[in-house]
DNA sequence: CGGGTGAGTGAGCGAACAATCACCGAGGAG
DNA sequence: CTCCTCGGTGATTGTTCGCTCACTCACCCG
């Protein structure tokens, strides 16, 4: 056994590159419609090597989804830290603002949408629940808000996902304005 | 031009059968991962004939989605009619109850989830927006509720979709109970 | 230098799938 | 009977995709 070193192996560095590529590509075309070759191309390596780094397409998607939720929770934490008031409602609002800024790049949002659609794959459903748990637990504990407020936070987050995924704009009419009113998505 | 008859041609009857099959099958495995042959099998006809009834997979999915939204609005109407009070909040609540009962069969719910994921196909995104408009407009006009209440109605509806799609249950822990509290999905 | 280890790839197999085409049979009109 | 329309199908085709395997190259330790 070699002595433990701090420096990462090159394979692990590659894995990070691949996961970043996977987030971007899966977010564009979804789980089923995205060939692994597209992820490999985005990462700048061969398809064969992607299969050496991850046991299959499913594991690759799960890894991307897990990283996605890590990034979401990180954003919520930064948002909460930036809140001027420690009032639960204010902290929750600051988290919402941070999330809205995070998803300026739509990848993290769309990946969650695609994951819901691919949840008939058990491993994906499990990763989705695990990510949801982390978001829910963090939002609740960090803000100190009551359950109903956290639930409301998540519900309007899902509404935001709907707005972005369907490409709703003000030109869609009065009803579109009704749906999107006050929902931040820059 | 033949004289207009009330009786439907057999081809149109077949189209309805196919659309019903499409709703069920697409709801299970989504747009990209569902072969047209699976829809044909469910409908009890050959794959070739499905392509004669619909110009392609895309048109078939759009037809299924449109019918899905028709069924949703119908359910909302029936729910509103059954409301004892004409108070806007009460009517909206009755609509929610009717929707919760409608999606006892998960097909209509999951089809909407899959449609969001497939919204990078322009025709699907358009059908989704059109359906959303009908739901929003009907809920608002029929209940007479203020915009914010209608928006809230949709947001918690999306939360319900998240709960069902991820397969959340009480065994998932306290956080799961927090998310699902009061959200009707039988 | 020689050999072993791990990063990285090209080529290809087998299966699945969207879409098409040639074709069949029944029934109604002339 | 003949023809023509229309519901309906089997077989096929070209392509794509997940995944594997044999292989190369660079580096490092002795």
Q: What is the DSSP string of A96-144?
A: HHHHHHHTTSTHHHHHHHHHHHTTTSHHHHHHHHHHHHHHHHHHHHHH-
Place of tokens 């392609």: B56
Q: Would you state the pLDDT for residue A162?
A: 98
Q: Would you state the pLDDT for residue B11?
A: 82
Mean pLDDT check: name the lowest of A8-17, A76-85, B144-153, B169-178.
A8-17
Chain D positions with any atom < 7 A from a protein CB: 6-11, 16-22
Q: What is the mean pLDDT of residues A1-27?
A: 77
CA-to-C1' span, B10 to C27 (A): 14
State pLDDT tens for residues B55-102: 999 999 999 999 999 999 999 999 999 999 999 999 999 999 999 999
Question: Phi and psi of B52, rounded to 5°?
Answer: -80, -30
**Statement: the CB of A126 is under 7 Å from strand C:** no
The predicted model scores a pTM of 0.94
| Alpha helices by DSSP H, chain B | 10-29, 36-43, 47-53, 57-81, 88-102, 107-117, 122-143, 147-166, 174-180
How many beta-carbon pairs below 8 A join chains A and B?
Answer: 131
CB contact under 8 A, B116 and A117: yes
Residue B1: pLDDT over 90: no
State pLDDT tens for residues A37-56: 999 999 999 999 999 999 99
Q: What mean pLDDT is reported for chain A? A: 94
Residue A121: pLDDT over 50: yes
Q: Is residue B186 classed as helix, strand or coil in its secondary structure?
A: coil
The Cα–Cα gap between B156 and A154 comes to 9
Q: What is the mean pLDDT of residues A67-96?
A: 98
Residue B49: pLDDT over 90: yes
Q: Would you state the pLDDT for residue B92?
A: 98
Torsion of CA B48, B50, B53, B54, to 10 degrees: -110
Residue A178: pLDDT over 80: yes
The Cα–Cα gap between A150 and A89 comes to 9
**C-alpha to C-alpha distances, A93 to A149, A160, B120, B148, B152, nearest whole angstrom:** 10, 14, 30, 17, 17
Q: Would you state the pLDDT for residue A48?
A: 97
State pLDDT tens for residues B148-164: 999 999 999 999 999 99
Q: Would you state the pLDDT for residue B8?
A: 55
Q: What is the mean pLDDT of residues B111-116?
A: 98
- Closest CA of chain A from B88, distance in Å: 17
Long-range contacts formed by B50-55: CB under 8 A, 24+ apart: B50/B18, B53/B11, B53/B14, B53/B15, B53/B18, B54/B15, B54/B18
If one counts every other C-beta atom within 10 angstroms of the C-beta of residue B108, the result is 20
- Closest CA of chain B from A10, distance in Å: 34
If one counts every other C-beta atom within 10 angstroms of the C-beta of residue B142, the result is 19
Residue A145: pLDDT over 80: yes
Instruction: Give the pLDDT band (50/70/90) at residue A9.
Output: low
Of B159, B147, B79, B33, the closest CA to residue A158 belongs to B159
């Amino acid at each position: 056994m070699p002595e433990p070193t701090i420096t990462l192996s090159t394979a692990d560095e590659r894995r990070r590159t691949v996961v970043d590529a996977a987030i971007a590509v899966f977010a564009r075309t979804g789980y089923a419609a995205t060939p692994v070759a597209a992820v490999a191309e985005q990462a700048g390596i061969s398809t064969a090597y992607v299969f050496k780094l991850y046991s299959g397409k499913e594991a690759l998607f799960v890894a991307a989804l897990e990283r996605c939720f890590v990034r979401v929770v990180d954003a919520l934490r930064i948002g909460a830290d930036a809140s001027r008031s420690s009032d639960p409602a204010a902290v929750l609002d600051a988290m919402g603002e941070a999330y809205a800024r995070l998803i300026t790049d739509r990848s993290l949002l769309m990946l969650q949408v695609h994951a819901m659609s691919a949840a008939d794959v058990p491993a994906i459903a499990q990763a989705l629940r695990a990510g949801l748990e982390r978001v829910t637990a963090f939002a609740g504990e960090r803000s100190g808000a009551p359950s109903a407020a956290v639930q409301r936070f998540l519900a309007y987050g899902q509404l935001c996902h709907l707005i972005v995924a369907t490409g709703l704009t003000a030109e869609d009419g009065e009803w579109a304005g009704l749906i999107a009113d006050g929902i931040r998505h820059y």
